[in-house]
Amino acid sequence: MGVLRTSNWRPNFLHCFKPTDPNPDSTKSKKNGASSSSNRISLLDWSGPQSQLSVMSDLSNPVFNLHIFTMRELQKVTSNFTRSNYLGEGGFGTVFKGFVDAKLRPGLEPQPVAVKVLDLDGSQGHREWLAEVIFLGQLKHDHLVNLIGYCCENEQRVLVYEYMERGNLEHLLFRSVFNGWENAGYAAALPWLTRLKIAVGAAKGLAFLHEEQKPVIYRDFKTSNILLDSEYNAKLSDFGLATDGPEGDETHVTTQVMGTEGYAAPEYVSTGHLTTMSDVFSFGVVLLELLTGRRSVDKKLPIREQVLTKWAKPFLKDTQRLDQIMDPRLEGQYSIEGAKKAAALAHQCLSHHDKCRPTMTKVVRTLERLLELNDISIGFFVYIVPSEVKNEKGCVMKCVEEKNCDEHKNGFEGELKVEGRRRKRHRSSKSKKGCSSSK
């Protein structure tokens, strides 16, 4: 798939490894001048011209605890980057599935991996690759994706991560369709408690970054950067835009505005001032997406509804109208009290004034309490298996009929009840009428 092609591209990558700032547009505003006592190596500690051998030597520092792979090894684990192992692509490049074990490298735990290959002509480059290695090579947490190793060979820049079975939240929340059922229109909606579990996990990941002695600002928190394992545990990925946060008496970081439309905090967009509260705003957007089932920006909708925060924010503190913006695919099967409190939390995270937003630690505490609520109404389900599904898709049919497939039953029970007909269907109809009357 063209992974090993050469190019005239000559990265400034070799300027990233000695003490000076690799991000010249970044400065820090200080009140006085205290600094962190943490031993973590900062992204700002690496810059300056060096030879390729010095680069590899620096990244071999034990503090990173990473395997350094060769391209030959990565060709082997991905079956030469075959199309059957293709997982997807983004601004960084292309991602393939592979498998590693101790036969490849002593000490390697046998496991599937995701191999991300930098696109030499892509929108991200050496600085983003370097940020991934520096941050994920040192920061370890249950809710951060595990970086196993990397390859820095000639012009090739590759990252090797643990494989996350469920993919990313964006896919599951907005495009989740069982294989073979797409034409029949069988979309599986994430159940309410699964959504809350994902929100809690992602919040814990952000809280960990913010509470480091040298805090980290994630800067690109969005649904596509939240990966999910087989148990729907959320892990943050893609640290290409992450940056070191203010330390001691520093109030903010001033940097070039980067990120994704619809998620960036207003003060960051207007001034370039970046704080951990900028991430909190982005979390509020994702929480709103989980509540509504809508994207942060959707150009297909009427103009007044295209930007999710502008459209939904007036409903968040109006408990009488909240059901009008809840994801209709939930069909009323969610905690009413939990939805109200989650909406109030989203409203607080989306405050225009950053000092009015909660810390991620407070966000975690609030969301964890919502998982304990048990006022979710359960209605009747009718199983409908479309006759046009072919025999080779029988695994999915069996899951729906018998609910006993290990591949799908874990955390998926609410999703496998496809085409459910619930007693509270009239609530959905009422919501639609309310929306139409408000236009």
Rounded CA gap, 290 and 66, in Å? 34
Feature table: binding site: 116
Only one residue has tokens 């409908």, namely 384
| Residue pair 299/336 in contact by the 8 Å Cβ criterion | no
Among the listed residues 119, 220, 244, 354, the single catalytic one is 220
Feature table: binding site for ATP: 116
Question: Per DSSP, what are the bridge partners of residue 118?
Answer: 93
Residue 117 parent element (H or E):
strand 111-118
Question: Per DSSP, what are the bridge partners of residue 250?
Answer: 30
Q: CA separation (Å) from 270 to 254, 267, 274? A: 11, 5, 11
Rounded CA gap, 187 and 329, in Å? 9
**CB-side exposure of 317: number of CA atoms within 13 Å?**
8
Residue 116 parent element (H or E):
strand 111-118
Calculate the CA 54 to chain-centre distance: 33
Rounded CA gap, 399 and 395, in Å? 6
Residue 129 parent element (H or E):
helix 126-136
Rounded CA gap, 23 and 131, in Å? 11
The closest alpha carbon to 115, from 141, 83, 148, 84, belongs to: 148
Beta-strand relationship, 167-168 and 67-68: unpaired
Rounded CA gap, 124 and 129, in Å? 8
- 267 contact partners, CB below 8 Å, separation of at least 6: 273, 278, 354
| Residue pair 17/48 in contact by the 8 Å Cβ criterion | yes
220 catalytic per annotation: yes
Question: Exposed, middle or buried: residue 23 (CB in 10 Å: 0-12, 13-18, 19+)?
Answer: middle
Beta-strand relationship, 147-153 and 156-162: antiparallel
Rounded CA gap, 30 and 33, in Å? 6
Q: Provide the annotated active-site residues.
A: 220
